[in-house]
Amino acid sequence: METLAYLLPLFSPSILGAIGLGTLGGLIIGALPGLTATMGVALLIPLTFGMAPIMGLNMLIGIYIGGIYGGCVASILLRTPGTPASAATVLDGYPMAQKGEAGKALGMATIASTIGGFVAAVVLALLAPQLASVALKFGAPEYFALAMFGLTIIASLSGDVLKGAISGFLGILISCVGADPISGVLRYTFGVTGFASGFSFTPALIGLFALSEVFVQMERLHLKDEQIVEVSGRWPSKKEMKESANALTRGSIIGTFIGIIPGVGSGTAAWISYNEARRTSHTPEKFGTGYIAGVAATESANNAVCAAALIPLLALGIPGDVVTAVLMGGLMIQGLAPGPMLFQTNPDVVVGIFGGTFIATFFMFAFGMLLIPVFSKILNIPRHMLAILIVVFCFIGSFAINLNPVDLYTMVAFGVIGWGMQKFGFSQAAFCIALILGPMAESNLRRGLLQTGDDLGAFLSGPITQTFLVLTVLSLVWPYIRQRLDNRKAKKKAVTSKQ
Amino acid sequence: MLKINVAKVLTAAAAMAMVAVPAFAAFPDRPIQVIVPYSAGGSTDLSLRLLADSFKRNVKGSTMVIRNQPGGGGSIGVSATVHARPDGYTLGAGAQGPLSLLPHLGGTDYSLEDVEYIGMMSRSLQLLVACKDAPFTDFDSFMAYSKDHAPQIGNSGAGGANHVSAEAFAKAAGIKVKSVPYQGSSQARTACIGGHIDAMVASPAEALTQSQAGNMTPLFLMEEKRIDLFPDTPTAVEKGINFTWSSWKGLIAPKNIPAENLSLLREEFKKAVADPEFQKKMTEMGELVEYADADTLKKQVEADSKTAEAVLRDVGMYGMNKN
């Protein structure tokens, strides 16, 4: 009954308006490359100073949810991931758009984001305090094992294992640039102050995926490619929904789980979910060619992370990612300290945030679906003009993140690397995964060794560590087992057909 | 007591402003940019945004815009501040890490010689807290444990403020600690609440909520005297160890700003910090508003810098990033 009383104020026009406005604003911010959900939330915090806590916080959550979803728009249409969270969406989203199915790709992204968001929001509302303790089980060995598991995706995502491994190791090597995570020594910065934190992530991704694609397009300019004018409707067919059901379920669960673990983030969730969907699919070869289930897998996972990341924040006072860290600042300014006590001292705020998460997810669905035809119009721009526009966005987006001119060099250099990789068949996805997970693996390995006095045994003990290590081995060996099984089946068939 | 102070400050500021405004009405005629050397949303960023708000309310015709230039533990933004055009239109947030500590590691392209000071706006008090399931629960048991073990103390980054303060305490107390660096304070806090480290340096705000929940136990306060928020937590000083540490936030500028603009900025800053609304919001965020003028801030920066230098030499990090 009390809960209901706390929920009712959410439906007052002013609060609904604030959430709606926040979600729409976040959606647009997320859709523009270089403007991230984090930035949107941070810039709007001062606006919420004067608002009541429920209104202000839910507006921020709206921006957060809208912003993470909005990232898929540029990924699908322009191959420009505005956030690391949507980098994996490029893999199938962009080929779909190239086939003239941009509307459907965006539609599926919206549906998947909504499902992922709702699943995580339900978990948040029902189990937040109970699940939060999972977040605390992760020490250095656990994070390291999780990172190792994530890195095995490289093996299964790249067709050519050798080239995939080279891309992966190159990514890890490049992620070593900047301050050493444990000793603080600057590595490979060559005295450039701007590299003190290593290569900035978003500019690197923008270069890797977007600028490289512009180079590829430029090479093809003299070929009279057909302009994509036809943009399919936004609703996926029944058959397509059925094909994606597996990806949606897995994505939502994986996203929720990863979201609860602090500091892992929606980028990792999206890649793991993509890999899982592909591994368990009946038609794994379709992934990466513009397969709708690929979009469903990544987008359901990264939006599930949003709501799930609120679990450790509200229940323990631990922000799971950068955006929730900023949200925590917003809570503190309202005089509310997130943590176990918040549930007792301010149940109205906690319930209000739970409710707001649902409402923001709903708004995200509505606005997303409404805006798809508008977004898709981008593809009507003639290809050579679009290429120039994308280049402009690449530069603005890379600079806007940190206002650091060095980021522009980073973006251009990664553009050239990405183009080279595409040209010679090296996997950009493997490279990207290594960039995300390399630092996590390194810092936790080194931290763990420091804490245990160089005892590697700690990295093999503990149930969570062991589970992830077993999964790591399985995921490496699985392709061979599968091949064997297939071969045996084929042989049997051959034998039976001969008879 | 505070009220009287505020009133005095306001009168003084108003008097100064009345003298200053007619003569230099030209400055500032466009927004003043403040470079925050950290990402948007952190405590330094939010504090400066509150200050910008207060500026808008209190200083007629002047607005402040925040520009985030994160990276390199704050060194990238501070470098941009001290190398900006010295006209008073570009200022920077001054923080302990990039000013007092990082230059000792090498690898920064500025030194304290390049910094002009506007004033200090707040201090952040610090406590050493025992983490979940730590083998000690108060100052005495912590010291006893440290006799034959090196407790693992988490910090928010190698060579950062709370790495240096933990090592500085160990030096003063004559104990050994094992510093465990994390990427940022929230990672360290997660590890602390999860019981993966023994202790960490925390702010009063986070220590209060987490100790009420039974996740952290305050060991001692790094001040001269106890504070009301933690009446039962001793200070290191009263336990006979001559050690205090706090971090601070202030406003800095490049050298060689025209003298009249500089003094005007210092007066406006003082006025903005005295604003009650600003003080209220800062307090809610867990910051201790404490105005100090440019000279006091300079002395504080230099004193911290000296302590940090000694500590960093001890742990072998001094000059490690020099080219």
* Cβ-nearest to B196 among A38, A139, A338: A139
Average pLDDT over residues A36-48: 78
CB-based contact B227:B125 (threshold 8 Å): yes
> What CATH number has the domain bearing residue B197?
3.40.190.10
Which pLDDT value is given to residue A47?
Answer: 77
Cβ distance B205 to A38 less than 8 Å, yes or no, reads no
Residue A492 lies in a domain: no
Taking Cα atoms as reference points, which of B138, B101, B312 lies closest to residue B221? B138
In the predicted model, is pLDDT for residue A228 greater than 70? no
Are B45 and B183 part of one and the same domain?
no
Which pLDDT value is given to residue B259?
Answer: 93
Which pLDDT value is given to residue A109?
Answer: 94
* Cβ-nearest to A181 among B41, B183, B286: B183
Are B96 and B8 part of one and the same domain?
yes
Are B72 and B216 part of one and the same domain?
no
Taking Cα atoms as reference points, which of A96, A4, A81 lies closest to residue A37? A81
Cβ distance B158 to A184 less than 8 Å, yes or no, reads yes
Taking Cα atoms as reference points, which of B112, B71, B82, B186 lies closest to residue A186? B71
Are B304 and B271 part of one and the same domain?
yes
Q: Could you say which DSSP state residue B100 is in?
A: I
Residue B226 lies in a domain: no
Average pLDDT over residues A227-245: 79
Residue B79 lies in a domain: yes
Which pLDDT value is given to residue A339?
Answer: 75
Q: For residue A306, what pLDDT band results from cuts at 50, 70 and 90?
A: confident
Q: For residue A499, what pLDDT band results from cuts at 50, 70 and 90?
A: low
Does the beta carbon of B242 lie under 8 angstroms from any beta carbon of chain A?
Answer: no
Does the beta carbon of B284 lie under 8 angstroms from any beta carbon of chain A?
Answer: yes
Lowest mean pLDDT, pick from A91-105, A224-238, A358-372, B175-189: A224-238
Taking Cα atoms as reference points, which of A20, A19, A63 lies closest to residue A41? A63
Q: Which residues of B touch A338 (CB under 8 A)?
A: 209
Cβ distance B73 to A179 less than 8 Å, yes or no, reads yes
Q: Which residues of A touch B72 (CB under 8 A)?
A: 179, 193-194, 196-197
CB contacts < 8 A, A to B, total: 165
Are B46 and B26 part of one and the same domain?
yes
Does the beta carbon of B33 lie under 8 angstroms from any beta carbon of chain A?
Answer: no
Residue A491 lies in a domain: no
In the predicted model, is pLDDT for residue A232 greater than 90? no
Residue B319 lies in a domain: no
Work out how many domains chain A is built from and give that number: 1
Are B22 and B116 part of one and the same domain?
yes
Cβ distance A183 to B320 less than 8 Å, yes or no, reads yes
3-state secondary structure of B307: helix
Identify whether B181 is preceded by a cis peptide bond (ω within 30 of 0).
Answer: no
3-state SS, chain A, equals CHHHHHHHHHHCHHHHHHHHHHHHHHHHHHHCCCCCHHHHHHHHHHHHCCCCHHHHHHHHHHHHHHHHHHHHHHHHHHCCCCCHHHCCCHHHHHHHHHCCCHHHHHHHHHHHHHHHHHHHHHHHHHHHHHHHHHHHCCCHHHHHHHHHHHHCHHHHHCCCHHHHHHHHHHHHHHCCCEECCCCCCEECCCCCHHHCCCCCHHHHHHHHHHHHHHHHHHHCCCCCCCCCCCCCCCCCCHHHHHHHHHHHHHHHHHHHHHHHCCCCCHHHHHHHHHHHHHHCCCCHHHCCCCCHHHHHHHHHHHHHHHHHHHHHHHHHCCCCCHHHHHHHHHHHHCCCCCCHHHHHHCHHHHHHHHHHHHHHHHHHHHHHHHHHHHHHHHHHCCHHHHHHHHHHHHHHHHHHHHCCCHHHHHHHHHHHHHHHHHHCCCCHHHHHHHHHHHHHHHHHHHHHHHHHCCCHHHHCCCHHHHHHHHHHHHHHHHHHHHHHHHHHHHHHHHHHHHC
3-state secondary structure of B179: strand
Residue B274 lies in a domain: yes
Residue A499 lies in a domain: no
Query: Tens of pLDDT along A379-415?
Result: 888 878 888 888 988 898 888 878 888 899 999 999 9
Report how far apart, in Å, the C-alpha atoms of B286 and of each of A268, A332, A335, B51 are: 33, 8, 9, 15
* Cβ-nearest to A182 among B79, B158, B321: B158
Cβ distance B67 to A403 less than 8 Å, yes or no, reads yes
Are B98 and B187 part of one and the same domain?
no
Give the mean pLDDT of chain A.
86
In the predicted model, is pLDDT for residue A226 greater than 80? no
Domain range spanning residue A360?
2-486
Which pLDDT value is given to residue B22?
Answer: 45
Residue A212 lies in a domain: yes
Are B153 and B203 part of one and the same domain?
yes
A-interface mutation test, from B35, B46, B54, most A Cβ less than 10 A away: B46
Of the residues B156, B187, B221, the one at which a domain ends: B221
* Cβ-nearest to B193 among A181, A318, A402: A318
Residue B230 lies in a domain: no
Q: Is the sign of the CA dihedral A155, A158, A160, A162 positive or negative? A: negative
Query: Tens of pLDDT along B55-78?
Result: 988 887 778 888 888 888 899 999
Query: Tens of pLDDT along B109-157?
Result: 999 999 999 999 999 999 999 999 999 999 999 999 999 999 999 998 8
3-state secondary structure of B138: coil
Residue B320 lies in a domain: no
Instruction: Name residues of chain B where pLDDT drops below 50.
Output: 1-4, 17-24
* Cβ-nearest to A196 among B72, B180, B194: B72
Does the beta carbon of B180 lie under 8 angstroms from any beta carbon of chain A?
Answer: yes
Residue B237 lies in a domain: no
Domain range spanning residue B215?
127-221
CA distance B198 to B132: 8
Are B43 and B83 part of one and the same domain?
yes
Are B193 and B214 part of one and the same domain?
yes
Residue B273 lies in a domain: yes
Name the one residue in this structure whose structure tokens are 């240096």: B164
Are B23 and B103 part of one and the same domain?
yes
Residue A289 lies in a domain: yes
> A439 vs chain B: nearest CA distance in angstroms?
10
Interface confidence (ipTM) of the complex: 0.81
Work out how many domains chain B is built from and give that number: 2
> What CATH number has the domain bearing residue B270?
3.40.190.150
Are B23 and B43 part of one and the same domain?
yes
CA distance A205 to A428: 10
